[in-house]
Amino acid sequence: MVSLSLFWEVIGKSVRGASHCRSGMTNQDDINYYPGQGASDTVMIAVSDGHGSPRCFRSDRGADFAVKAAVGSLRDFICDQDPCQSLSDIRQTAKDRLSREITMRWQHSVESHYKIYPFSESEYQILKDHSHFYAYGATVISVCVTPWFILYIQLGDGDILTVSAKGEVERPLPVDTRLFANETTSLCATHAWADFRFWVQTDLVNLPDMILLSTDGYANSFQDDSGFLKVARDIWEILRSDGKDYVQKHLEEWLNETSEGGSGDDITVGLVFPSR
Amino acid sequence: MIKKRPGGELASRPLHFFWVADCSGSMSGDKIQQLNTAIRETIPYMQKVAEENPYASLLIRSIKFSDGAQWHISQPTPVADFKWLDLSAGGMTDMGKAMSLLAEQLQIPPMTDRALPPVLVLISDGQPTDEFNEGLNALMALPWGKKSVRIAIAIGKDADCDTLQQFIGHSEMQPLKANNPEQLINYIRWVSTAVIKSVSSPPSQPETNSQSVVNVPLPPLPVPDPTSAGDVW
């Protein structure tokens, strides 16, 4: 297997939506990444958007469980891979195993939480005939960069964008037509594992110079898609001109300004880029 | 120097609201007059709800149907600038043609996929006199047709509730029966305020293939006033 000795860094931020600040609702998004700081040849990141509806009354916890399940599953997955294995085998194993593993870990976390904090009578009434998983409903988007491949994973709405070394912005995963209006695939669905979408990039020559993951509150804040794609290009340029610390310092104010002037929704963004 | 915020122009999400009013001969007199009054008087309440949620841009249009269907207010009008023009009644009930007009405007484009679910309010006191299913099928074939929030107000005892139920498209909500002016005003007020409030910040919904689920959780219906007049229509 061909490998590349490149080190990567990860930063990210999650902000409470402007409309949620008005209504008193907590941030329903979450983010988790590895390593927490510094550079590594293997990094992984996950963002999640809890649904936030009255029936998904624990979706902030669901989002927390989702990002931890994704990063934990990816770490174990990478450790288990035999470097002599072919990339097509890895791709197949990822598709076969990871979606089930992430779903299973998320469900396990929900079960444990639900046992300790069972629903009140009124919460059961709100939930109607849905399972207790529904109350924790959340999406998950994750990326794992290794010396051999980059793995992109998505369940539900939100975006993954890549920026090439020339500054070209692309979506590595095609648009999912099921995600229309406010409907989304979700970890709380009965066969959630079957709804995951994957892409494994094995082309180590044309590696992205930055990967951006975001919850849908970000894209929904722009007048059109080109305005959102410009986010990735602009952050990439700022990273190159002013460095990681500058982006990290200003990310929160950028996201708050975007939510206030746009969708009003929670916004979470994760960035992966080569260490310079 | 502090860099400006990354990304292009920001915008709140558009929320398209459509009044679809029956102007057939049976609506003439008190019914059409009360409908005009109810919609006109509810405008300040709509404006207040819209002001409370700056993250949605409420845009209103109106279709009238009798002999054929026409745009009564054709431009998506920001609620702050919205003025109601009185409708008059006379002719048949070409409800299917009104559905076709809606379908033309719910395509992408002119709609965008970042819009909030559009709200379609159908108000009628009778039965369609044209090919209703043809128009409805064209509407429901569209992604925004399927995902729209469809509400029907049945005026009087002769309203065709089966047709209005077909328009709603699921069993979790029934046509709202307005049998007197007070009930009509209450329902018009409800769709113009409580429904708009719900639709302007809809939470994500786990995807389902079922047609029987409401796209946006709707607020409780207004409680009938026990002191209001009995059935007069």
Mean pLDDT (whole number) for A213-230: 97
- Residue B168's contacts (CB-CB under 8 Å, 6 or more residues apart) are B150, B151, B152, B174, B175
Query: Torsion over CA of A254, A257, A258 and A263, rounded to 10 degrees?
Result: 150
Residues of B in contact with A18 (CB under 8 A): 55
Whether the CB of B8 is below 8 Å from some CB of chain A: the reply is: yes
- Residue-wise pLDDT for B65-86, tens only, equals 999 999 999 999 999 999 999 9
- Report the residue of chain B nearest A186, measured CA to CA: B206
Whether the CB of A178 is below 8 Å from some CB of chain B: the reply is: yes
Q: What is the pLDDT of residue A35?
A: 95
B209: exposed, middle or buried (Cβ count in 10 Å: 0-12, 13-18, 19+) = exposed
- Report the residue of chain A nearest B143, measured CA to CA: A180
Q: What is the pLDDT of residue B2?
A: 59
Q: What is the pLDDT of residue A47?
A: 98
- With respect to residue B14, please indicate whether it lies within any of the assigned structural domains: no
- With respect to residue A1, please indicate whether it lies within any of the assigned structural domains: no
- With respect to residue B158, please indicate whether it lies within any of the assigned structural domains: yes
- With respect to residue A2, please indicate whether it lies within any of the assigned structural domains: no
Question: Could you tell me the residue range of the domain that residue A115 belongs to?
Answer: 8-274
- With respect to residue A3, please indicate whether it lies within any of the assigned structural domains: no
B97: exposed, middle or buried (Cβ count in 10 Å: 0-12, 13-18, 19+) = buried
- With respect to residue A63, please indicate whether it lies within any of the assigned structural domains: yes
Number of domains in chain B: 1
**Can you give the CATH number for the domain in which B102 is found?**
3.40.50.410
Residues of B in contact with A139 (CB under 8 A): 204
Nearest by CB to residue B206, choosing from A189, A238, A264, is A189
Which one of A263, A266, A268 makes the best mutation probe of the B interface by having the most chain B beta carbons within 10 Å? A263
Q: Looking at the complex, report in whole angstroms how far the Cα of residue B51 sits from the nearest Cα belonging to chain A.
A: 12
- Residue-wise pLDDT for B73-131, tens only, equals 999 999 999 999 999 999 999 999 999 999 999 999 999 999 999 999 999 999 999 99
ipTM for the predicted complex:
0.92
Which one of B55, B119, B144, B148 makes the best mutation probe of the A interface by having the most chain A beta carbons within 10 Å? B55
Residues of A in contact with B205 (CB under 8 A): 51, 53, 182-184
Q: What is the pLDDT of residue A3?
A: 67
- Nearest CA to A133 out of A26, A29, A61 is that of A61
Whether the CB of B10 is below 8 Å from some CB of chain A: the reply is: yes
Number of domains in chain A: 1
Backbone angles phi, psi at A31, to 5 degrees: -145, 145
Q: Looking at the complex, report in whole angstroms how far the Cα of residue B123 sits from the nearest Cα belonging to chain A.
A: 25
- With respect to residue B221, please indicate whether it lies within any of the assigned structural domains: no
- With respect to residue B167, please indicate whether it lies within any of the assigned structural domains: yes
Q: What is the pLDDT of residue B228?
A: 65
Residues of A in contact with B13 (CB under 8 A): 220, 263
Taking a C-beta distance cutoff of 8 angstroms, is the pair A158, A141 a contact?
yes
Whether the CB of A189 is below 8 Å from some CB of chain B: the reply is: yes
Whether the CB of B187 is below 8 Å from some CB of chain A: the reply is: no
Confidence of residue B211 (pLDDT cuts 50, 70, 90): very low
- With respect to residue A153, please indicate whether it lies within any of the assigned structural domains: yes
Helix (H) or strand (E) holding B144: helix B143-146
- Residue A13's contacts (CB-CB under 8 Å, 6 or more residues apart) are A31, A251, A252, A255, A268, A269
Q: Looking at the complex, report in whole angstroms how far the Cα of residue A32 sits from the nearest Cα belonging to chain B.
A: 21
Q: Looking at the complex, report in whole angstroms how far the Cα of residue A120 sits from the nearest Cα belonging to chain B.
A: 21
For residue B68, give the DSSP letter: E
Whether the CB of A262 is below 8 Å from some CB of chain B: the reply is: yes
Nearest by CB to residue B7, choosing from A139, A234, A264, is A234
Confidence of residue B233 (pLDDT cuts 50, 70, 90): confident
Cβ of B53 within 8 Å of Cβ of A264? The answer is yes
Q: Find how far residue A16's CA is from the centre of its chain.
A: 16
Cβ of B10 within 8 Å of Cβ of A186? The answer is no
Residues of B in contact with A51 (CB under 8 A): 203-206
- Report the residue of chain B nearest A264, measured CA to CA: B55
- Residue numbers of A between 21 and 60 with CB closer than 8 Å to B: 23, 49, 51-56
Q: What is the pTM of this model?
A: 0.93
Cα(B200)–Cα(B57) distance, integer angstroms: 8
First to last CA, chain B: 69
Nearest by CB to residue B10, choosing from A186, A195, A258, is A258
Mean pLDDT (whole number) for B176-188: 95
Q: What is the pLDDT of residue A202?
A: 87
Cβ of A230 within 8 Å of Cβ of B3? The answer is no
Confidence of residue B162 (pLDDT cuts 50, 70, 90): very high
**Can you give the CATH number for the domain in which A112 is found?**
3.60.40.10
Cβ of B6 within 8 Å of Cβ of A139? The answer is no
Question: Could you tell me the residue range of the domain that residue B136 belongs to?
Answer: 28-200
Mean pLDDT (whole number) for B198-210: 77
Mean pLDDT (whole number) for A218-224: 96
